[in-house]
Amino acid sequence: MSENTDFPGWHGTTIVGVRKGGKVVIAGDGQVSLGNTVIKGSARKVRRISPGGHDVICGFAGSTADAFTLLERLEAKLEAAPGQLARASVELAKDWRTDKYLKNLEAMLIVTDGRDLFIITGAGDVLEPENDIAAVGSGGNFALAAARAMMDSDKDAEQIARKAITIASEICVFTNGNMIVESLNG
């Protein structure tokens, strides 16, 4: 039996994280697409976890099952190192890069504890974004550009994140305007 290479695969989303004025916000759209078909318009791709009583917000782009696997692993790392998001993120990235099972996962995460803001990738990267803005997904570059353009305005972090997702949804066909927004104070 040959592998079906015509399967369109899961595609698209937009997640943006913005830190401004002592507040960090992660916002994500709600669209799930399979090829050129919208499967769901109200998915929740931004979640709050509280391992050890420390709130962390996570946004994910990519395969949903893979992202949930990574969120569970991150939560376990945070339980082992409470309040240490940087350490837990590096440990997750190391596992993701070297573990035979994990290295096949296709997702990206944006995480924050209100102080730190990171992008975690399957290449073993834990990136602290420049300009206090992180963005991933098919509409990530559109949201990143929009958010960067607004950082010098009088808009707060949430207003910037919401507008960035709105702009991305108007450009990227794999992104919609149904938003989930979570925030933490730094």
Active site residues: 13
Residue tagged 């296709």 (tokens): 106
Question: In a 3-state reduction of DSSP, which class is residue 111?
Answer: strand
Q: Checking DSSP bridges between strand 117-120 and strand 126-127, what pairing results, if any?
A: antiparallel
H helices present in 17-98, as ranges: 64-80, 85-98
Question: In a 3-state reduction of DSSP, which class is residue 92?
Answer: helix
Task: Return the bridge partners of 33, or none.
Answer: 11, 38
